[in-house]
Amino acid sequence: MSRLRIREAVDRLVAGLVVLALMLAATPVLILLLFVVIKGLPGMLAPGFFTDLPHPQGVPGGGVFNAILGTLIIIGFASLAAVPVGVLIGVFLSEYGHNRLGDTVRFVSDVLTGMPSIAFGIFAYTVLVATHVVGFSAIAGSAALAVLMLPVVLRSTETALLLVPNTFREAGLALGAPQWRVTLQIVVPAALGGIVTGALLSMARAVGETAPLLFTAFGNEFLQLNPFRPMGALSLTVFKNALVPYANLQDQAWAAALLLVLLVSITNILARFYVRRIQR
């Protein structure tokens, strides 16, 4: 066998392995999504699921209206804090961070991702709730989630920015633009795809997290729009009701999980669509 033949064989083998890897990755993903859809549809199609407040066991019907609003409010505030700050830190790391400070920030961020999500809840609880600064509230929940989201956003922003070829920066500077303008108006838009991926991943994670909300947002069976009061969320609904023995509450839990997946999908699609328009 000539060397060329061996190399070609290796090439085909690797191609095959890559496809195998894809199938291995796709299988559990699709099975899980299918599982969520199958278990979640009955509850979601039940009348009143989207519009009613929760009913306890024994009272038929019931829905997750307050939890939907709660999730939107809590994640909304958390993203408002985490995404801009995370992008800014990512910019710092890629443009100004090739020094000890940058290395430290990078390292600390990586260690932070390794924390169990309950730790963020305890952190926000200790700083905001136990001190009676805000008490149990959506804001405290958002704070916990924002810290959880930060490392993902900043890491992916940094990566995306580093991958923008230097030629972009050089061109901007050659045209006389100052550094900050080059960064904001040339480099960041060029890296927008990667930045958005990071933001979406972090939001997807946050939307499904329960433990950070247990001691912060606390949960609420009633409708609550004031972010300084305890608030419910879809992830809390899933967590509470998936683990009780009552069938209709379990149905609601699975339906809430399916709804979370749908929320993530919609956000994903909207964000990608918007990015494509910007990059036109």
Partner 1 sequence: MSQATAEPRVRPPLVTTGRQRRWLHGDQLFRGLAVASGVLLLLVSAIFLLALFIPALPSITRFGLPFLWGRDWDAVHLRFGALPFIYGTVVTSAIGMLIAFPVGLGAALFLAEESRLNWIRAPLSFAVELLAGIPSVVIGLWALFILTPIMRDDVEPFLNHLFGFLPFFQPPFSGTSFLTAGIVLAIMVLPILIALSRDVIRAVPRSLQEASLALGATRAETTWSVVLPYARVGITGAVLLALGRALGETIAVTMVIGNTPQITSRLFAQGYTLASVIANEFTEAVGPILQGVLFEIGLVLVLITIVVNVIARLMVWQFTKPEGR
Partner 2 sequence: MKRAILAMVPAVGILLAACGSTSNTPASSPAAGFTIPTPPAANLIGAGSTFDYPFFNAAFYAYNQKFSDVTVNYQSIGSGGGIQQLTKKTVDFGASDVPLKTSEADAMGGADAVVQIPVTLGAVSLAYNLQGVGNGQLKLTPDLIAGIFLGSITTWNDPAITAVNSGLSLPSQPINVVHRSDASGTTYIFTDYLSNVSPEWKTKIGVGKSVSWKTGGGQKGNEAVAAYIKQTPGAIGYVELAYVVQTNMTQARLKNADGNFVLPSAAGATAAAAAKPNVTPTDFSIVNAPGKDSAPIAGYSWAMLYKDQTDKTKGQATVDLLYWLISPDGQQYAANLNYAKLPDNIAKADVATLKTVTSGGTALLTVS
Q: Which of 69, 239, 249, 252 binds partner 1 (CB under 8 A)?
A: 239
Size of the site for partner 2 (CB under 8 A): 24
Q: Which is nearer to partner 1, 13 or 133 (CB)?
A: 13
Q: Name the token pair of 244.
A: 């009780």
Range in contact with partner 1 (rule: CB under 8 A) among 24-32, 48-56, 57-65, 134-142: 24-32
Q: Is 264 in the site for partner 1 (CB under 8 A)?
A: yes
Per partner kind, with CB cut-offs from 5 to 8 A, the member of partner 2, partner 1, none near residue 155 is: partner 1
Q: Which of 13, 101, 244, 270 binds partner 2 (CB under 8 A)?
A: 244
The answer to whether 170 contacts partner 1 (rule: CB under 8 A) is: yes
Instruction: Give, as one character, the DSSP assignment of residue 89.
Output: H
CA distance 79 to 201: 11
CB of 231 to partner 2, least distance (A): 10
- Ordered DSSP codes for 133-180: SS-S-HHHHHHHHHHHHHHHHHHHHHHHHHTS-HHHHHHHHHTT--HH
Contact flag: residue 243 with partner 2 (CB under 8 A):
yes
CB of 80 to partner 2, least distance (A): 25
| Nearest residue to 82 (alpha-carbon basis) of 217, 193, 189, 199 | 199
Instruction: For 201-257, give the DSSP string.
Output: HHHHHHHH--HHHHTTTB--SS----TTS-B--HHHHHHHHHTSS-HHHHHHHHHHH
User: What whole-number distance in Å separates Cα of residue 144 and Cα of residue 77?
Assistant: 11
Closer CB to partner 2, residue 46 or residue 214?
214
Residue 138 or 153 with smaller CB distance to partner 1: 153
**Stretch in the footprint of partner 1 (CB under 8 A) among 54-62, 63-71, 173-181, 219-227:** 173-181
Rounded Cα distance between 133 and 162, Å, is: 40
Binding mask 116-145 for partner 2 (x = CB under 8 A): -------------xx-x--xx---------
Between 192-208 and 234-242, two packed helices, what is the crossing angle to 10 degrees?
Answer: 40
Q: Which stretch binds partner 1 (CB under 8 A): 47-55, 100-108, 132-140, 220-228?
A: 100-108
Contacts 24+ apart (CB under 8 A), 95-99: 95/161, 95/179, 95/183, 95/187, 97/158
> Using CB distances below 5 to 8 A depending on partner kind, what does residue 198 bind out of partner 2, partner 1, none?
partner 1
- Is residue 274 near partner 1 by the rule CB under 8 A? no
Asked if 218 is part of the footprint of partner 2 (rule: CB under 8 A), the reply reads yes
